[in-house]
Amino acid sequence: MAVLTIRDALNQALREELIRDENVFIMGEEVAEYDGAYKVTRGLWKEFGDKRVVDSPITELGFAGLGVGAAMAGLRPVIEFMTWNFSILAADQIINHAAKMLYMSGGEFNVPIVFRGPNGSAYQVSSQHSQALEAMYANFPGLKVVMPSTAADAKGLLKSAIRDDNPVIFMEQETMYGMKGEVPEDEDFTIPLGVADVKREGTDCTIIARSFTVPQALQAAEKIREEFDVSVEVIDPRTIKPLDIDTIIASVKKTNRVVIAEESHSFASVGAEISHQIMENAFDYLDAPVKRVSTAEAPNPYARNLELAALPSVEKIIAAVKEVCYL
């Protein structure tokens, strides 16, 4: 096992896939000579050249569309958005073309494309650069949505996404790029899409978390064990769509209590969908209502104290677990 940051794990995955398949190429703003806004593509332009690592103009709709066309022609583009907030400018190409082409062509055209970049909040980048957009993209049939929380997951899931024959929305988190973890050194290491991971086993309560909130949930679980001797299970879906609901339901049936922690706003969120599926499939196993911890229903603030107040936190997750466990 190697110890890598999430940034370096993503970089390693990209490099290995560029070597493995000559149809893979990367395109986005500043991905080449500048090594990427967050240095995820560091060194790749020097190694693979202009045709494999392509700097684009500041025109998200244009280079997303170019990627969709290239995928239809048999290539495997990896399109980087400097932030998923900018993907809104390319939504027509992602939603109306990439997501629908296989269906509308009667199976004639696959669109094996990955759209990737940081999603959600960062440090004081304010309202227009802090949105968590996974629920929006998960709502459209034809798109797969992936949100890794560890270095190993980042590498294994990105390699699987690049090899997938469908369009994949791959959402990273800017504040997590520097987090370190063990990563298998095997170049064939992949993690299948649509499989959740039990990050911590427990018997008294289940926390379902993703991306930014997974390390928070793990910290909360340990503090609750120390203070209240309550055993908390932490589940990371990893892939939002398709969602591994079977793993979630199995945990709910074991612990009988659920907290869902997510960075997005609560209304019409992925957490709301998970809660709905728990109601349909495991209602009789619940000993308390499902509790959700989400970002405040307001544009994300710039001021750091207000930003922290708006976002999920370890303390908020602990309070939710105490509520469902009647502590």
Residue 218 has pLDDT above 90, yes or no: yes
pLDDT of residue 150: 98
Residue 149 has pLDDT above 90, yes or no: yes
pLDDT of residue 127: 86
261-294 residue pLDDT tens: 999 999 999 999 999 999 999 999 999 999 999 9
**Residue 248 pLDDT class (50, 70, 90 cuts):** very high
> Are the CB atoms for 180 and 3 separated by under 8 Å?
yes
pLDDT of residue 128: 87
Q: Where are the domains of the chain?
A: 2-183, 197-324
Query: What's the mean per-residue pLDDT of the chain?
Result: 97
Question: Which residues partner with 206 through β-bridges?
Answer: 233, 258
- What token pair was written down for 144? 């797969």
Q: What does CATH list as the number for 2-183?
A: 3.40.50.970
Domains 2-183 and 197-324 fall in the same CATH topology: yes
pTM summary value: 0.97
- What token pair was written down for 223? 């503090």
Mean pLDDT score, 145-150 = 98
227 is catalytic: no
Catalytic residue among 16, 17, 29, 60: 60
Question: How distant, in Å, are the alpha carbons of 10, 59, 145, 271, 303 from that of 158?
Answer: 7, 24, 11, 23, 33
pLDDT of residue 3: 98
Catalytic residue among 129, 233, 265, 273: 129
pLDDT of residue 205: 99
Spatial CA neighbour of 134 closest among 268, 228, 257, 250: 268
129 is catalytic: yes
96-124 residue pLDDT tens: 999 999 999 999 999 999 999 999 988 88
Residue 219 has pLDDT above 90, yes or no: yes
Q: Tell me yes or no: is domain 197-324 CATH 3.40.50.920.
A: yes
Q: How many CA atoms lie within 13 A of 6 on its CB side?
A: 22
